C-alpha cells in the first residue's frame, strides 16, 4: 500500500519510483515542502498580527510606536522585507536626453493640467449663467435684483477662497468628477497608490489616505484638507525644523512627492493631478537654498528613480490600487505589497541577508 502511495506521488511530481533510495528522496522532499508551507503560514500570521498593531497605533495617533513596530521587522525574511528596500538608481546629474532614453518626457510629467476638473468647472459656469438667464426670464427679475444675487454669489466665493482656501469649490468639483467621470475616479486612485507604494519602498510609513475631498472632509472634519496620502513624517519634520535636511531624507521625500504624477504619466502618457505636490517640492528645495541647477538635478534624479521603481513594481501598484479602492487599512495595504513583490526585486533579498 505504501509503495502505491509513493508511486502515485512520484507520478504527480513527474518522477520515477524505482528503487528504495528514490523513495527516501521523495519522502524527504514531501517533509521539506510541508516544513516550507508551515514556515510561510507562520510568517503570514506574524506579519498580520504586527500590521494589525500598526493600524491600532496609527488610529490612536501614536506614530512613533507604529513606525517602531515596522522597523522591528524591517528587512527580515519572515517580516517586512520591502520596507525601505527599494533598488534605486545612483544619484548623479542626469541630463534630459538621458531621461528621454529611458522613455521619460519631463514636460508631460512635470506640467500637470487637470483637464477633467477644468472641463467640469467650465460647464458649471456655463450652466450657472444659463440658469441665471432662465431665472431672470421666469421670475421677471429686475437689473437691481440680479445685481444683488450676483454680489451674493461673489461674497460666498470670496469667503470660500479666504476662509477655506477654496475648499468648498474643490469639494464640489471633486465630488462631481468622481460621480460622472470614471477616468478621473481611477486616476485619483492610481495617483495615491503611487504615493503609498513609493513611500513604503523608500522607508516612509504611510499614515493614512483618502481618495476624495468628501472622504477627507468626513475623516478630518475640515474643508482645508484635500484627498491624498499622509505619512509618518516626524523624522523629516525634526530635520527640517533644525534647518538641515539630510540627503537621504530629501531623496525620499522628493521621490514621494513625484510618485503621483509619475504614476499618471506611466498609465496615461501625461499627468493631470499633482501640481500641488510639485509646488511643495519646489518650495522645499528653495527653502534649503538650492540653486536652479541643483534643484533641476535633484528633480531629474527623483523622476528617473521613481519612474523606474514604478515600472519594476507595476503589479504591486495595481493590486495596491485595488486594495485602496476597497478602503483597506494601511496595514492591509502593506500586506498586499509584501505579498506581491518578489525577493529578487528588492534590496534586502534573501541572498543579501
pLDDT, tens digit, 9 for 90 and up, residues 75-120: 887 789 999 999 999 999 999 999 999 999 999 999 888 877 777 7
In 3-state terms the chain splits into helix, strand, coil percentages (rounded to 5) of: 70, 5, 25
Q: How confident is the model at residue 299 (pLDDT cuts 50, 70, 90)?
A: very high
| Cell numbers that stand for 130 in this block | 444659463
Reported as a pLDDT band with limits 50, 70 and 90, residue 41 is low
CB half-sphere exposure, 145, CA atoms < 13 A: 9
Q: Which long-range contacts (CB under 8 A, 24 or more apart) does 314-321 make?
A: 314/266, 315/340, 316/197, 316/340, 316/341, 317/190, 317/193, 317/194, 317/197, 317/263, 318/193, 320/193, 320/196, 320/197, 321/189, 321/190, 321/193
Query: Quick one: angle between helices 182-201 and 292-312, nearest 10?
Result: 100
Alpha carbons 158 and 166: distance in angstroms, whole number: 9
For 146-184, write each residue's pLDDT tens digit: 666 666 666 666 655 556 566 676 777 878 888 888 999
Amino acid at each position: 500500500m505504501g509503495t502505491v502511495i509513493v508511486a502515485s506521488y512520484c507520478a504527480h511530481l513527474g518522477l520515477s519510483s524505482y528503487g528504495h533510495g528514490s523513495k527516501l528522496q521523495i519522502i524527504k522532499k514531501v517533509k521539506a515542502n510541508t516544513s516550507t508551507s508551515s514556515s510561510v503560514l507562520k510568517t503570514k500570521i506574524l506579519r498580520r498580527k504586527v500590521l494589525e498593531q500598526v493600524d491600532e497605533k496609527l488610529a490612536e495617533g501614536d506614530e512613533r510606536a507604529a513606525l517602531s513596530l515596522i522597523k522591528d521587522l524591517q528587512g527580515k525574511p519572515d517580516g517586512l522585507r520591502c520596507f525601505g528596500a527599494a533598488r534605486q538608481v545612483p544619484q548623479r546629474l542626469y541630463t534630459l536626453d538621458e531621461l528621454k532614453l529611458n522613455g521619460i518626457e519631463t514636460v508631460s510629467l512635470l506640467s500637470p493640467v487637470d483637464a477633467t476638473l477644468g472641463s467640469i468647472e467650465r460647464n458649471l459656469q456655463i450652466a450657472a449663467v444659463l440658469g441665471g438667464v432662465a431665472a431672470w426670464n421666469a421670475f421677471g427679475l429686475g437689473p437691481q435684483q440680479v445685481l444683488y444675487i450676483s454680489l451674493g454669489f461673489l461674497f460666498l466665493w470670496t469667503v470660500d477662497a479666504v476662509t477655506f482656501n477654496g475648499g468648498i469649490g474643490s469639494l464640489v468639483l471633486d465630488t462631481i468628477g468622481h460621480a460622472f467621470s470614471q477616468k478621473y475616479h481611477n486616476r485619483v486612485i492610481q495617483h495615491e497608490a503611487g504615493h503609498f507604494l513609493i513611500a513604503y519602498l523608500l522607508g516612509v510609513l504611510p499614515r493614512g489616505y483618502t481618495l476624495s475631498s468628501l472622504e477627507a472632509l468626513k475623516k478630518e472634519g475640515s474643508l482645508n484638507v484635500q484627498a491624498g496620502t499622509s505619512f509618518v513624517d516626524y523624522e523629516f519634520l525634526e530635520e527640517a525644523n533644525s534647518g538641515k535636511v539630510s540627503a537621504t531624507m530629501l531623496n525620499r521625500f522628493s521621490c514621494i512627492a513625484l510618485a503621483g504624477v509619475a504614476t499618471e504619466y506611466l498609465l496615461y502618457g501625461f499627468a493631470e493631478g499633482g501640481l500641488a505636490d510639485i509646488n511643495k517640492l519646489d518650495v522645499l528645495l528653495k527653502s534649503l537654498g538650492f540653486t536652479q541647477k541643483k534643484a533641476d538635478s535633484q528633480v531629474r534624479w527623483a523622476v528617473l528613480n521613481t519612474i523606474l521603481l514604478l515600472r519594476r513594481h507595476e503589479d504591486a501598484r495595481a493590486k495596491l490600487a485595488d486594495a485602496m479602492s476597497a478602503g483597506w487599512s494601511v496595514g492591509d495595504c502593506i500586506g498586499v505589497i509584501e505579498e506581491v513583490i518578489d525577493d529578487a526585486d528588492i534590496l534586502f533579498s534573501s541572498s543579501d541577508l
